[in-house]
Amino acid sequence: MASKILATPVALAVGIVSFRDLGYKQAKHSETSAYQAAWAIEHSPGFPETELNADNKTQLYDGYRLRFGENNPGTTYAIINGNYVTATDDHMANKSVEKILIDVGYAFGLATHEFGKLKNENNALHTVVKIVRDKVNTYCSNRLTDLVREAKRIKNIGKPRARAATIDFSERVAKALDDLGDKCKLANLRGDETADAARYKAARIAFLVVWSK
């Protein structure tokens, strides 16, 4: 018996009505991702082992930003005494209140040097624009990672997978002790008084004396 899918906002947004429907849509999406990665491989020699050239990456990111903008229409801010606050209904209705829409188009309509200058000229505006730019840059980076991962999967189809060399337990112990030593140093730098490097070194030596018997 098929499970009943509740009409949640997510289900309504993606139009999924059952797990059978989900399976079909997921499979279709997987095929589309493969075609997209194959296209990138065909039109960018050396990809994904070699990075996209500057022009291709710019175009790709333009597309990513376009999609981000469709899903994130931006935020309207009211400018109150030089501060940028999310506009309320009262702000929107009051024509005397200066307002500005900060969306993908506005945030990336600023050239890099213009955005940099904004920090000194209008730090409040710079702050809200940076929020959008940071979110979009992360989104674009994640989508490129998805594309690279799928391209690598396609290129590795049919190739035997190399098995990682087995690490014996003694190597694991040595690696764990090295890792603890590094963490002890970092904790000490952060002011953790319990991270005593000298005590750790003595304890490590004592452990190895017993372990090597």
31 with 59, same domain: the answer is no
DSSP string for residues in 15-34:
T--SHHHHHHHHHHHHHHHH
59 with 126, same domain: the answer is yes
pTM: 0.70
63 with 144, same domain: the answer is yes
17 with 55, same domain: the answer is no
| Residue-wise pLDDT tens digits, 106-163 | 999 999 999 999 999 999 999 999 999 999 999 999 999 999 999 999 988 877 776 6
Please report, rounded to a whole number, the percentage of residues in the chain having pLDDT higher than 70. 87
pLDDT at 48 over 70: yes
125 with 61, same domain: the answer is yes
Residue 160 included in any domain: no
| Residue-wise pLDDT tens digits, 56-91 | 999 999 999 999 999 999 999 999 999 999 999 999
The conformation of residue 57, written as its DSSP 8-state character, comes to: H
103 with 173, same domain: the answer is no
Domain tally, the chain: 3
Residue 171 to residue 163: CA distance in whole angstroms: 18
> Domain limits at 73?
50-155
Element (H, E) at 209: helix 197-211
Q: What is the pLDDT of residue 160?
A: 78
Q: What is the pLDDT of residue 37?
A: 94
Cα dihedral sign, 116-117-123-126:
negative
Of residues 175 and 52, the one with the higher pLDDT is 52
Residue 48 to residue 50: CA distance in whole angstroms: 5
